Structure 1
């Protein structure tokens, strides 16, 4: 990881997402990867207890990407924070790679869980958090879910259990970008708000702008102060954030970046066509 401002760090992660998607030559889940950049950058940069060069450190906090289809954004952040180099990242979605279209658990790379089927991560994270509590470990578990994923019944079974058992070292972060695979996530509206549902299940709930560093950081810090119940941070985000032609455009839920689109991406990121990001070890498009 290089020493940059938060905004520069997020811009770099978005560039890594675009470069990696272009390099692999295949379709990838781009929109939902871009929407969670600030959430993960804040978590990994300011809150999570972790050691990228000692990924199996026994004292580490655990992060689980439950919306596993957005693995590209997760891998970009792991690379940015030094878990693996650009050469490894460049194997994304190639034959024989550890880095495929969904997370496959490999703690040596910072990947703490396998995830493909939606709705599984919260239960898995709750089990880990309970184990930490039984061992009297001062460690926490963070699970990132999508709002579309919250249509899965298994999410609410886990939410009820975590509240009943008072799993206070568990934090769910909901990337509420308003879309799911097939279009707008109409399940949750002003009448049936996600915030109200999490509250009804007995969670400590905090609403934030999912692209505002200060709001995200404050919420994550507040979650640490609540010991008797789990916390849900409902983060309103923009799908495709940072690339104007992708923002709130569900065509980019899963799509391929061609050479022409790649040039558009660079322009949308505020870079001149063909310019290079001046970072150590970054591969070029």
Structure 2
């Protein structure tokens, strides 16, 4: 483990730069997905097979992007893994929702269910109101509202399996957190005359813990990538692209919403005699 100070700062800068590159790549993929989906839907009966092949190629490229990003994080986390568990480049809102350095893989399923429900509601509304442009003769798999019983069953089985994997990993990180109050860290802290004095035994123990946290981060990222890939395998090409588009928009939106809320919070001035709710104190 490298020492702190300027070296630690440089590591954090590289990690943050890696994150911003990933966010920029996600932004670039959104118009690609939109264009491919629009072309597929407007040429429903023309060359659907060719369009589906293009969608599959694009979704696999996006999953590859995620896998490459996870690999970069794994390399950088072995230099300093703590930064990824509460990233300074995240907003407080994002860090409040973070699990093992990222999102919960099980949240991918909640996104599928949410999209399935919302798209079904839109199509039913269109049908009941006879909105212009509604086409009840569209081919199956045109959206997540068209999930078949077989697809839903496969997604449910995978969902249960992933939740079980998450629980196992949560127990591992809980054990690591408990180790922070274990020997030799606790005994050295108690015995030291001055708090925070350099100690070789403590440094070695913390280095060992950082390494274990780095391994857990890599394990969690692998679970995230594998879960994403398996969900896309269950979906049709157009459903998979729809799902990935929604996921990217959600990720980018959460960051922007968190940024806005953080700025609003910093600008909020509480005057004397007024509580946060805006009511005068008696």
Query: The TM-score by the shorter chain falls in which range?
Result: under 0.3
Of structures 1 and 2, the one scoring higher in RCO (CA 8 A, sep 6+) is: 2
Could you state the TM-score of these two structures normalised by the residue count of structure 1?
A: 0.23
Q: Larger helix proportion, structure 1 or 2?
A: 2
Computing the radius of gyration from Cα coordinates, the structure with the larger value is 2
